[in-house]
Copies of this chain bind each other. A is one copy, B any other.
Amino acid sequence: MCDPLRPSVRIPAVSAELLTRVRQIPPLTHCITNTVVTGFTANVLLAAGASPAMVDIVGEAGIFARLASGLLINLGTPTPEQRAASREAVAGANDAGTPWVLDPVAVGALPVRTALAGELVRLRPAAVRGNASEILALAGSGSGGRGVDALDDPDAALDAARSLATRFGAVVAVSGPVDLLTDGTRVIRVANGDALLTRVTGGGCALGALMAAFLGAARDTDADALEAVAAATLVYTLAAEHAARVADGPGSFAVGLLDALAGIDPTDIAAEARVEQHDAPVEEVAR
């Protein structure tokens, strides 16, 4: 980070508030996601207190997106049925004002999902989440990663993320050792987390679902989309730190992550958060 950022007080406070709301409401979180991570994603949402529902067929996805508090579209294994259901869900979500998250898994080298991601990103997702390679590819400035691997550092995707955010009016979240979040103007960096998250399948995908839950919980609050996405990131990466402390490897880490998400005390978040925020307009944020 070569530009001066200031520690954020606001994001930890919003995180505590939204986590509490997630547990109280709970937000019905509609996920159209890949077959590898469906179970883990649902368990992450349940552990955090949200209510997951994987409705990914034509004829139901649009209806459900209207009822849901938040929606995730994850392109990890986009069968023809899921592609059609995703279009239907996005239309329903936009019609009803349901905030939705686009996770363009492995875009770049793979043409079907790349075309679909390019189509969907124009339909005003509240947030786009990916690793640096994916964000670069979606912005048209990278060649794509190797599947779900990030070959690039999040900061290498900062310009691409801001460009995407500005063009499409979406928050863009770039996962990495330090997560980078931007709405095109403000930039938030969340330094919490643990490398074990990269050793569990769905470690990133489940965060996309949690963002959808937090966006849903943020409705009727004064937290905006960037703050809600940052709050989900902070809660999730903090839980990862808690889990890593007691894990013997990636298996027990994944189990512990669910326990930690369920156990995290909102009042403890501020003390452990490592979040910085820069509010300068885009052109002043030097790289």
* B80:A54 contact, CB within 8 angstroms: no
Interface string of A252-287 (1 = CB under 8 A from B): 101111111111000000000000000000000000
A77 at the interface (CB under 8 A from B): yes
What is the CB-to-nearest-CB distance from A35 to chain B, in angstroms, rounded to a whole number?
Answer: 5
A210 within 8 A of B: no
Q: Does A91 contact B (CB under 8 A)?
A: no
The answer, yes or no, to whether A95 is at the interface (CB within 8 Å) is: no
- Is A249 at the interface (CB under 8 A from chain B)? yes
Interface residues of A (CB under 8 A from B): 28, 34-40, 42-43, 46-47, 51-57, 59-60, 63-64, 67, 76-81, 106, 109-113, 146-149, 198-202, 247-252, 254-263
B-chain residues with CB within 8 Å of residue A254 when the two chains form the complex: 43, 251, 255, 258
Give the complex CA separation of A252 and B257 in angstroms. Answer: 10
Which residues from B are CB-within-8-Å of A51?
A: 146-149
Q: Are B52 and A77 in contact (CB under 8 A)?
A: no
